[in-house]
């Protein structure tokens, strides 16, 4: 995590110092092509004094999906890997899990069975295994897991699997007066445990799915207790609802990678004035993964079919990105 | 509204330009006394380089209740006045309201009866009368009402009844690297309609009670539809829950005026490191109102009883504020 943290800071610094730097310098991992040109052109349009499309800084809201957009999501959502590890850790205290799905599949190592319920089933698993602890304890558990576990393919901490071009983009937008928000189907408390260090996005700018919490004073000490119950699912049509609820203003830029982001892009790009929508297309099996229409994770079908007519930019990981992960030489 | 808007902007400017200005200049409506000293002393401690209590800017979160803390709340919550006006406006379309409380009381002009349900009953009224419109339409309705209606005692727009010392305080904290958030029992969409102009607090920094919303595409046009159902009540123990959910980080300063803010102050001030809690005490019947332990609006009992032992500052409107409203000469 430290490595990524430093690279994000370095980028931010480079941008802050080089106020006269060209946009090209700010996005070095992006190949010069249509996608990069579209981003730079849009940012110029909404930030240049005298531009007919100038947008005041308070309205420069950009929203980013997390899984598959800012970091990888294969072979399973990273938060699912965390949940599975927790199930194994907690199983001795729950003998009934041996006969009860999704726990049964998890304990039997049947990952496909465990993942079959999709993001919603995944959240149920999270709710059931993470209730009964305080938010501070949960935060610690996530940080511990991120510090000690490794991604199965790359044998590196999960937080190393962030996309360098997207880190550059986050920093570039912030340097141009944008507020960058994460709007993800993932758990909000899971993401908040690393979003500030890894992406430079503070907790109050992270919107995500959540379980219910309760305020309690235990032996004179106030805590936020996590309940084993889903509060909100920030996916699909839930994304515009989450944006409205937490941000309260329609973004002018939206970045996603799957059909779970469709409504977020639709809501963002159908407002008045200049609007920008972008989809990261996973088409690089060598450096990352290649999947879209048929994938059970990060399925992208409607987005591919309608991007052109809606004016959304499709980014090819293979052709538009010089580098995918920061650790590539 | 424009007048207040300009005065907030002027304050912000004065602070931004006068970076060498003393704190005393930044809070001209505060008398030199214990309350002002405590605020200035705390801000110095957490912002001065080399101070053992220095807090990095990202952690400088200050939360403010709205009703009774940033603007007045008598003779009834201003949002309740808005809701009552809406009931009268919508009544011809709802003949059954004549026999059904709280609508019956409202239409009969029985304000005590209408207010008897407290903040929760009030939110039910809001839910029932405000469902079935889009969020954009609601935003317009609030703005129209604020622009055209007058407070019964002062015969001025409701947004004129903000507290000048608190506007100064908001600007002073922001000038010192704080992020200022509103955390109120009031409706989040109601407050967002004016919070940016009046307080300089953008929508994404407003936390409040909410009704459920739904994303829909109507004739190809996406909308956020408001449902006639309460989603979240941001009051009492709901305030730390709201802070945790929306901000995701424990504030270091909290400002309230009633026992509805007790848990917010408790949660804020029981964290590690430097912490600050403040209660505005309404004890000025001449310039504003005087009420506390027995009031059905803004009841303050436990806060008065426990402030000293908890180290919270009590502000006397009468003795600590030179001026209450910006319109006073």
User: What are the mean pLDDT values of chain B's consecutive 10-residue runs (329 residues total)?
Assistant: 44 43 77 97 97 97 98 94 90 88 87 72 72 92 97 98 98 98 96 98 97 95 92 95 98 98 98 97 98 96 98 98 95
Residues A250, A191: contact at Cβ < 8 Å? no
Q: Is A230 part of any domain?
A: yes
Q: At what angle do helices A164-175 and A34-47 cross, to 10 degrees?
A: 20
> What whole-number distance in Å separates Cα of residue A129 and Cα of residue A99?
15
Q: Is B88 part of any domain?
A: yes
> What whole-number distance in Å separates Cα of residue B130 and Cα of residue B227?
8
Q: Is A328 part of any domain?
A: no
Task: Measure CB to CB from residue A267 to each of B196, B222, B237 and give the nearest one.
Answer: B222
Task: Note whether B249 contacts A61, CB cutoff 8 Å.
Answer: no
Please tell me if residue B179 touches chain A, with a CB cutoff of 8 Å.
yes
Task: Measure CB to CB from residue B241 to each of A192, A196, A224 and give the nearest one.
Answer: A224
Task: Note whether A215 contacts B58, CB cutoff 8 Å.
Answer: no
SS3 B245: helix
Residues B159, B198: contact at Cβ < 8 Å? yes
Q: Is B226 part of any domain?
A: yes
Which one of A126, A148, A170 terminates a domain? A148
Q: Which residues of B touch A246 (CB under 8 A)?
A: 204, 246
> What whole-number distance in Å separates Cα of residue B120 and Cα of residue B211?
12
The residues that bridge with A214 in the sheet, in sequence order, are A225
Say if residue A270 is in the same domain as residue A143.
no
Q: Is the ipTM of this complex over 0.85?
A: yes
| Predicted local confidence at residue B4, as pLDDT | 44
Please tell me if residue A62 touches chain B, with a CB cutoff of 8 Å.
no
Q: Which residues of B touch A179 (CB under 8 A)?
A: 204
Say if residue A206 is in the same domain as residue A84.
no
Q: Which of A270, A240, A250 is nearest to B225 (CA)?
A: A240
Task: Note whether A179 contacts B215, CB cutoff 8 Å.
Answer: no
Say if residue B24 is in the same domain as residue B43.
yes
Say if residue B82 is in the same domain as residue B66.
no
Task: Note whether A204 contacts B205, CB cutoff 8 Å.
Answer: yes
Task: Measure CB to CB from residue A204 to each of B214, B247, B270 and give the nearest one.
Answer: B247
The side-by-side arrangement of strands in the sheet containing A313-316 is A221-232, A206-218, A179-187, A61-64, A253-256, A276-281, A313-316
Say if residue B308 is in the same domain as residue B221.
yes
| Predicted local confidence at residue B127, as pLDDT | 72
Q: Is B328 part of any domain?
A: no
Please tell me if residue A213 touches chain B, with a CB cutoff of 8 Å.
yes
The residues that bridge with A65 in the sheet, in sequence order, are none
Average pLDDT over residues A324-329: 94
Q: Which residues of A touch B192 (CB under 8 A)?
A: 248
Residues B206-250 have pLDDT tens digits of: 999 999 999 999 999 999 999 988 899 999 999 999 999 999 999
What residues contact B234, with CB distance under 8 A and at least 6 apart?
B183, B184, B185, B188, B207, B208, B209, B210, B241, B242
Query: Helices (H) and strands (E) in chain A — how many of each?
Result: 15, 7
Residues B284, B318: contact at Cβ < 8 Å? yes
Which one of B95, B125, B148 terminates a domain? B148
Residues B35, B315: contact at Cβ < 8 Å? yes
**Domain range holding B121?**
78-148
Lowest mean pLDDT among A22-26, A102-106, A301-305, B29-33: A22-26
Say if residue B191 is in the same domain as residue B288.
yes
Task: Measure CB to CB from residue A244 to each of B135, B206, B238 and give the nearest one.
Answer: B135
DSSP assigned state of B223: E
CB pairs under 8 A between A and B: 90
Say if residue A69 is in the same domain as residue A14.
yes
DSSP assigned state of A277: E
Task: Note whether B222 contacts A135, CB cutoff 8 Å.
Answer: no
| Predicted local confidence at residue B120, as pLDDT | 63
Query: In Å, how far are A80, A114, A285, B216 from A111, measured between CA atoms?
Result: 10, 5, 21, 35
What residues contact B148, with CB distance under 8 A and at least 6 apart?
none
| Predicted local confidence at residue B16, as pLDDT | 42
H helices of chain B, in order, are 2-17, 23-26, 34-47, 78-90, 103-107, 111-115, 118-130, 135-148, 164-175, 188-192, 195-199, 238-242, 262-269, 302-310, 317-320
Best residue in A244, A247, A263 to probe B by mutation, most B CBs within 10 Å? A244
The side-by-side arrangement of strands in the sheet containing B221-232 is B221-232, B206-218, B179-187, B61-64, B253-256, B276-281, B313-316
Task: Measure CB to CB from residue A214 to each of B181, B215, B241 and give the nearest one.
Answer: B241
Residues A31-61 have pLDDT tens digits of: 999 999 999 999 999 999 999 999 999 999 9
H helices of B111-194, in order, are 111-115, 118-130, 135-148, 164-175, 188-192
Task: Note whether A215 contacts B237, CB cutoff 8 Å.
Answer: yes
- For chain A positions 71-130, those within 8 Å of chain B (CB to CB) are none
The C-alpha of B238 sits at a distance from chain A's nearest C-alpha, in angstroms, of 7
Say if residue B298 is in the same domain as residue B282.
yes
DSSP assigned state of B185: E
SS3 B251: coil
How many domains does chain A contain in total?
2
> Nearest chain A Cα to B203, which residue?
A248
- Look at strands B206-218 and B221-232 and give their pairing: antiparallel
Task: Measure CB to CB from residue A240 to each of B181, B202, B215 and give the nearest one.
Answer: B215
Lowest mean pLDDT among A124-133, A157-166, B158-167, B184-193: A124-133
Which one of B115, B148, B181 terminates a domain? B148
Best residue in B222, B233, B234, B272 to probe A by mutation, most A CBs within 10 Å? B222
- For chain A positions 264-293, those within 8 Å of chain B (CB to CB) are 266-267, 270
Say if residue B177 is in the same domain as residue B305.
yes
| Predicted local confidence at residue B22, as pLDDT | 54
| Predicted local confidence at residue A329, as pLDDT | 79
- Look at strands A221-232 and A206-218 and give their pairing: antiparallel
> What whole-number distance in Å separates Cα of residue B234 and Cα of residue B158?
22
Say if residue B144 is in the same domain as residue B277.
no
Please tell me if residue A56 touches chain B, with a CB cutoff of 8 Å.
no
Q: What is the CATH number of the domain that holds B43?
A: 3.40.50.1000
Please tell me if residue B218 touches chain A, with a CB cutoff of 8 Å.
no
Task: Note whether B266 contacts A179, CB cutoff 8 Å.
Answer: no
Query: In Å, how far are A209, B61, B158, B291 from A224, measured between CA atoms?
Result: 17, 18, 35, 32
Task: Note whether B204 contacts A263, CB cutoff 8 Å.
Answer: no
Q: Is A186 part of any domain?
A: yes
Average pLDDT over residues A247-257: 98
H helices of chain A, in order, are 2-17, 23-26, 34-47, 78-90, 103-107, 111-115, 118-130, 135-148, 164-175, 188-192, 195-199, 238-242, 262-269, 302-310, 317-320
> Nearest chain A Cα to B223, which residue?
A267
* Cis before A102 (ω within 30): yes
Task: Note whether B248 contacts A221, CB cutoff 8 Å.
Answer: no
Q: Is B194 part of any domain?
A: yes
Say if residue B252 is in the same domain as residue B174.
yes
User: In the block, which residue shows the tokens 């005026």?
Assistant: B257
The C-alpha of B14 sits at a distance from chain A's nearest C-alpha, in angstroms, of 20
Residues A192-230 have pLDDT tens digits of: 999 999 999 999 999 999 999 999 999 999 999 999 888
The C-alpha of A288 sits at a distance from chain B's nearest C-alpha, in angstroms, of 32
Residue A56's CB: how many other CB atoms inside 10 A? 8
Q: Which residues of A touch B213 (CB under 8 A)?
A: 241, 244-245
Say if residue B117 is in the same domain as residue B90.
yes
Task: Note whether A248 contacts B189, CB cutoff 8 Å.
Answer: yes
DSSP assigned state of A247: I
Query: In Å, how far are A31, A41, A287 from A322, measured between CA atoms?
Result: 6, 20, 10
Best residue in A245, A266, A272 to probe B by mutation, most B CBs within 10 Å? A245
The C-alpha of B285 sits at a distance from chain A's nearest C-alpha, in angstroms, of 35
> What whole-number distance in Å separates Cα of residue B254 and Cα of residue B178?
12
Please tell me if residue B238 touches chain A, with a CB cutoff of 8 Å.
yes
Compute φ and ψ for B253, nearest 5 degrees.
Answer: -135, 140
> What whole-number distance in Å separates Cα of residue B313 and Cα of residue B307?
7
The C-alpha of A52 sits at a distance from chain B's nearest C-alpha, in angstroms, of 23
What residues contact B195, with CB distance under 8 A and at least 6 apart?
B182, B201, B202, B203, B205, B206
Q: Which residues of B touch A238 (CB under 8 A)?
A: 215
Residues A255, A280: contact at Cβ < 8 Å? yes
Task: Measure CB to CB from residue B215 to each of A61, A231, A267 and give the nearest one.
Answer: A267
Q: How confident is the model at residue A16 (pLDDT cuts 50, 70, 90)?
A: very low
| Predicted local confidence at residue B113, as pLDDT | 81
A78-108 as b/e: b if 16+ CB within 10 A: bbbbbbbebbeeeeeeeeebeeebbbebbbe
What is the token pair recorded at B59?
Answer: 């952690």
Task: Note whether B58 contacts A202, CB cutoff 8 Å.
Answer: yes
Q: Is B96 part of any domain?
A: yes
């Amino acid at each position: 995590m430290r490595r990524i943290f430093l690279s994000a800071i370095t980028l931010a610094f480079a941008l802050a110092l080089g106020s006269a730097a060209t946009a090209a310098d700010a996005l070095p991992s992006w190949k010069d092509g249509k996608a990069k040109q579209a981003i730079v052109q849009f940012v110029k349009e909404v930030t240049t004094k005298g531009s007919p499309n100038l947008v005041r800084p308070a309205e420069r809201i950009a929203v980013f999906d997390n899984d598959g957009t800012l970091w990888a999501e294969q072979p399973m959502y990273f938060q699912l890997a965390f949940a599975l590890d927790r199930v194994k850790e907690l199983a001795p205290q729950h003998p009934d899990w041996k006969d009860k799905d999704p726990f049964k599949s998890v304990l039997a190592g049947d990952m496909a069975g465990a993942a079959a319920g999709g993001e919603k089933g995944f959240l149920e698993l999270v709710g059931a295994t993470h209730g009964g602890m305080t938010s501070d304890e949960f935060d610690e558990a996530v940080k511990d897991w991120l510090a000690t576990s490794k991604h199965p393919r790359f044998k590196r901490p999960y937080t190393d699997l962030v996309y360098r071009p997207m880190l550059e983009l986050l920093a570039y937008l912030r340097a141009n007066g944008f507020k960058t928000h994460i709007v993800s189907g993932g758990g909000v408390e899971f993401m908040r445990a690393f979003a500030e260090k890894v992406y430079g996005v503070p907790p109050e700018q992270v919107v995500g799915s959540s379980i219910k919490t309760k305020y309690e004073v235990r032996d004179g000490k106030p805590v936020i207790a996590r309940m084993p119950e889903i509060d909100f699912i920030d996916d699909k049509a839930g994304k515009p609802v989450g944006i409205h609820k937490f941000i309260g203003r329609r973004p002018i830029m939206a970045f996603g990678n799957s059909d779970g982001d469709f409504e977020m892009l639709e809501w963002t790009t159908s407002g008045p004035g200049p609007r920008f929508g972008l989809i990261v297309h996973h088409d690089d099996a060598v450096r990352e993964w290649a999947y879209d229409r048929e994938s059970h994770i990060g399925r992208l079908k409607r987005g591919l079919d309608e991007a052109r007519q809606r004016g959304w930019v499709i980014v090819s990981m293979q052709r538009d990105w010089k580098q995918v992960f920061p650790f590539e030489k």
